[in-house]
Structure 1
Amino acid sequence: MNRVGIIGGGQLAWMMADAAKKLSVELIIQTPSQTDPAVAIATQTILAPIDDADSTAHLAACCDVITFENEFVDLDALSHLEKQGVCFRPSLSALKPLLDKYDQRCYLRDRHLPVPKFFALEAGSSTRTAEFPIVLKTRRHGYDGQGTFILKTAEELAAILKTLNDQPLLVEEFVPFDRELAVMAARSLTGEIVVYPVVETQQENQVCHRVIAPADLPASITVEVETIARILLESLQVVGIFGIELFLTHEGKVLVNEIAPRTHNSGHYTIDACVTSQFEQQLRALCRLPLGSPALTCDGAVMVNLLGYESSESDYLDKRQQLAKIPGAFVHWYSKTESRLGRKLGHVTVLLEDSSNLRQRAIEIGHTIESIWYET
C-alpha cells in the first residue's frame, strides 16, 4: 500500500479520502489543529504547523512521498529534507518559482506565456508612473482575495501601503476581462500530461462563487489554454496536478492570472462530473500510477461554493437537505465546526445532461443554490 503524506489538513486534503480508498492509499496528515477536516479521514495525523520542518521530517519517516495542500511552506527548511532523500511531489524546484507572485510572473513571462503587465513594488519606490486602476498583491500567502487590492487612485494606494508594513508587493495592470477561466492539468513521473475541460469561474470580491464546466469558448481559445497548461507543466517538470487561473479579455486575448501547484477549488466539479477526479489524479501521479481520463461524464456541470455568511457554530443541516433535493445535485460538506464570513464550508455540484443553453442554465441553477444557502 502506498503511504502519502500531505502538508496541510484542510478540505483539499479531506476530499482525497474517496480516491485514497479506491486506490488503496494511506493518507498521513501534518496539520496544526485536531479540528481540521482531513484529521477525520487520515490514517495518522501529526499535529504541527505546516511550516514546521522538524515535524515534516517525522511525516517523511511515516510515508513514501509528500505532497502539499497549500503553498504556505518554508522551502529552505524543506530543502534540507529533500537533500536527505525525502521525496516531495511536486518537487521543491517546481514550487520555487511559483510561491512568490512576482517570481511567478517573471517565470511565465520568461517562457513567453501571456501575463498582465506587472512590476515589483519595493519599499520606498515610486508608483507615480502607474496607470490607475491597478491591482496590488502581497507576494506571498494570499488566497481567496486576501492580500489583493483593486485600487483606483494614488491616494487609495498610499492608504493601503500604510497598512501592509513594508511587505513585498506586486503591482499589475487591471485587466477589464470578459470572463475568468481556469483549467486543471496533471503530469506523471513519466511525462504523461492530461488536461481537464476549461471552465468558467465567476468571482465576487476575488472569491470564487461558481464554476461552470465546460466553458462556452471558441475552439481556438480552448486549444490556447490547453497549450499554456502543457507548456507550464513540462517546463516545471511537475509531478502532480496544478490549477491555472486565466483572464479572457473582450478582444479574445488569454492572460495567465495565477498558478496553484495543487488541487484547486475550480476543479471540485471533477469529483462528480469527470471520469477521474482531480483528487484521484493527484494520487495517481504521486503513486506512479497511470493517469486517468479527465473527460466529463455528463454534458456539463455547475459547482457553487457554500461560503460562510455569519459567525456561528452550525452544521446547516436543513439547508443542506434542501440543496440535496435539487435534481442532479451532490452536496459536499467539509464538516468545519465554525462558520465565519467568507469561509468555505462546502460546495454543491449539479450535473447537467442537456448541453443546450448550458451556461445560462448553470447560472440559473447557481442562483437557486445561493437563494437557499444565503436565505436567513
Structure 2
Amino acid sequence: MKRVGVIGGGQLAWMMGSAATKLGVELIVQTPSMNDPAVSIAQDTVLAKIDDAHATEVLAQKSDVITFENEFVNLEALSLLENQGICFRPKLDALKPLLDKYHQRCYLQELGLPVPQFFALEHQENLLSKIDDLGFPLVLKSRRHGYDGQGTFIIHDLATLQEKIELDKNTNTAFLIEEFIPFERELAVIAARYVDGEIVIYPVVETQQEQQVCRRVIAPADITPEQAIASEAIARTLLDGLQVVGVFGIELFLTTDGQVLVNEIAPRTHNSGHFSLDACETSQFEQHLRAVCGLSLGNPALKCAGAVMVNLLGYETSHSDYQSQRQQLAAIPQAYVYWYGKTESRPGRKLGHITVLLNNHNQNQAEAIAQTIESIWYPS
C-alpha cells in the first residue's frame, strides 16, 4: 500500500480521502490543528505548521512520497530533505518559480505565455512613468501568500496607491503591480502530468468571483473551440516547462477581444476543479493521487452535459453547522453537497460546496441553479 504524505490538512486534502480509499492509498497529513478537515480521513497526522521542515522530516519517515495541499512552505529547508532522497511530487523545482507572484509572472513570460503587463514595486523612483504606461485602474498584489483575494487590491488612483504602499511599509510586504484586464469572463483549467510526461486536461470552466473570492464554477465554459485549445495549450506548455508530476490549477482571463491570458497558477488541486468529484470520470483528487503514486492517469472527461459548482462561503462569525440550509440544498435534483467540517464560520471562509449536474449544457440554466442555491444559503 502506498503511503502519501500531504503537507496541509484543509479541505483539498480532505477531498482526497475517498479517492485514497478507492486506490488503496494511505494518507498522512501535516497540519497545525486536530480540527482541520483532513485529520478525519488521514491514517496518521503530524501536528505542525505546514512550513515546519522538521515536522516534514517526520512526515517523510511515515510516507513513500510527499505532496502538497498548500504551497506556502519553506522551500529552502525542504530542499535539504529532497537532497537526502525524500521524494516530493511535484518536485520542489516545479514550485520555485511560482511561489512569488512576480517570479511567477517572469517565468510565464519566459515560457512565451500571454500575461498582463506587470512590474515589481521595488524602486519607487520610476513608479510614475511605469504607472503612466499601465494607467488606472491597476492591480496591486502581494507577491507572496495571497489566496482567495487576500493581498490583491484594485487601485483607482495614485493617492490610493501611495496610501496603500505606505500602510504596508511596516509589514515588509513586497508588491507586484500589473495592468487591470477588463475581461469578458474568468476561466480556469485543471491539468495533470504523469511521471512519463503524459498530460490530461479537464474541460475549461468559467469561474465567477465576488470580492476576488470564487463564488461559482460553470463547467464547461461557454467559449469557442479556439479559446479552449488556447487554454489547453497554456496548460501543456506550463506543465511540460516545469516537469510537473501531479495536478495544477491554472486561472485565466478571457479578454473582450477573445484572447486568453494567464492570471495565476496554483501548484496543486484547485477550487475550480471541485466539480470533477461528481461530474467527471476521474476527479482531480483521484487524478493527483494517481500521478504522484505512479498509477496510470484517469479519464478527465465529463460524464454529464455540464455542472455548476457553488462555494458555500461564510457570511457571519458563528459556530453553526447550517444543517437546515444544507438539507434544503441536498434536496435540489442531482445535487451533491460537501461540508468541510470547519468548526468556525467567518465572512468569506469556504465552509463547503455544492455541485449540481446538468442534463444539458445551458448557461442560463446553470446561472438559475446558482441563484437558487445562493437564495437558500445566504440570508436575504
Q: What is the deviation of 1:127? A: 2.1
1:132 aligns to 2:136 (yes or no): yes
Which residue number corresponds to residue 181 of structure 1? 187
Q: How far apart in 2 are the matches of 1:118 and 1:41?
A: 42
Identity of aligned residues (%): 66
Q: CA deviation at 1:375?
A: 2.1
Do 1:123 and 1:168's aligned partners in 2 also have CA atoms closer than 8 Å? no
Alignment RMSD: 0.8
Which of 195, 209, 228 is matched with 1:203 structurally?
A: 209
Secondary structure of 1:224's counterpart equals helix
**Matching residue of 2:146:** 142
What corresponds to 1:159 in structure 2? 163
Shift of 1:124: 4.1
Q: Do the aligned partners of 1:199 and 1:214 also contact (CA within 8 Å) in 2?
A: yes
**2:287 counterpart of 1:271:** no
Deviation per residue, 1:101-120 (Å, 9 max, x gap): 00000001011100000000
- Consecutive unaligned residues of structure 1, counting only runs of 5 or more, are none
The match for 2:320 among 281, 289, 314 is: 314
**2:271 paired with 1:249:** no
| Structure 2 residues not aligned, in runs of 5+ | none
What is the aligned partner in structure 2 of residue 7 from structure 1? 7
Aligned to 1:237: 243
> What is the TM-score of this pair, normalised by structure 2?
0.97
Distance 1:215 1:175 in 2: 19
Distance in 1 separating the partners of 2:167 and 2:136? 20
**Residues 50-105 of structure 1: per-residue CA shift (max 9 Å, x gap):** 00000000000000000011111010000000000010000000000000000000
Partner in structure 2 of residue 48 of structure 1: 48
Which residue identity lines up with residue 352 of structure 1 in the other structure?
L
Separation (CA, whole Å) in 2 of partners of 1:104 and 1:50: 21
Q: CA deviation at 1:162?
A: 1.8
Aligned to 1:363: 367
Q: Deviations over 1:314-357 (max 9, x none)?
A: 110000000001111000000001000100000000000122xx
Counterparts of residues 262-341 of structure 1 (less than 5 Å): 262-341=268-347
Q: Following the alignment from structure 1 to structure 2, what is the Cα–Cα distance between the partners of residues 123 and 81?
A: 36
Residue in 2 that maps onto 1:343: 349
Partners of 1:125 and 1:286 lie apart in 2 by 46
Please give the alpha-carbon distance, in whole angstroms, between the structure 2 residues aligned to 1:280 and 1:220.
Answer: 29
For 1:168 and 1:375, the matched residues in 2 are separated by 38
- Counterpart CA distance in 1 for 2:46 and 2:123 is 38
Aligned residues: 374
Measured at CA, do residues 161 and 292 of structure 1 come closer, stay the same or move farther in structure 2, by a change above 3 Å? same
In 2, the alpha carbon distance for the partners of 1:281 and 1:84 equals: 27
Q: Which residue identity is paired with 2:54?
A: D
Q: Which amino acid aligns with 1:109?
A: Q
Distance 1:73 1:300 in 2: 35
Q: Is the 8 A contact 1:135 1:172 kept in 2?
A: yes
- Greater CA drift, 119-128 or 253-262: 119-128
- Partners of 1:312 and 1:338 within 8 A in 2: yes
- Specify the SS of the correspondent of 1:347: strand
After TM superposition, list the pairs within 5 Å mapping 1:107-126 onto structure 2. Answer: 107-122=107-122, 124-126=124-126
How far apart are the structure 1 equivalents of 2:123 and 2:341? 42
Q: SS where residue 127 of structure 2 aligns?
A: coil
Q: Aligned ranges for residues 218-229 of structure 1 at < 5 Å?
A: 218-229=224-235
Secondary structure in 2 aligned to 1:345?
strand
Deviation at 1:168, TM superposition (A): 1.2
Q: Is the 8 A contact 1:324 1:331 kept in 2?
A: yes
Q: TM-score, normalization: structure 1? A: 0.98
Counterpart Cα distance in 2 of 1:162 and 1:269 = 41
Q: Give the aligned residue type for 1:303.
A: M
SS of residue in 1 equivalent to 2:253: strand
Give the Cα–Cα distance (whole angstroms) in 2 for the partners of residues 178 and 31 of structure 1: 38
Instruction: Give the Cα separation in 2 of the matches to 1:283 and 1:218.
Output: 31
Structure 1: distance between partners of 2:11 and 2:327:
20
Cα separation, 2, equivalents of 1:326 and 1:200: 22
Task: Provide the rounded CA distance (Å) in 2 between the counterparts of 1:195 and 1:137.
Answer: 28
Distance in 2, Cα, partners of 1:336 & 1:59:
23
The code of the aligned residue for 2:13 comes to: A
User: Partner amino acid for 1:45?
Assistant: T
Partner of residue 260 from structure 1, selected from 262, 266, 290: 266
SS in 2 for 1:127: helix
Look up the match of 2:18: 18
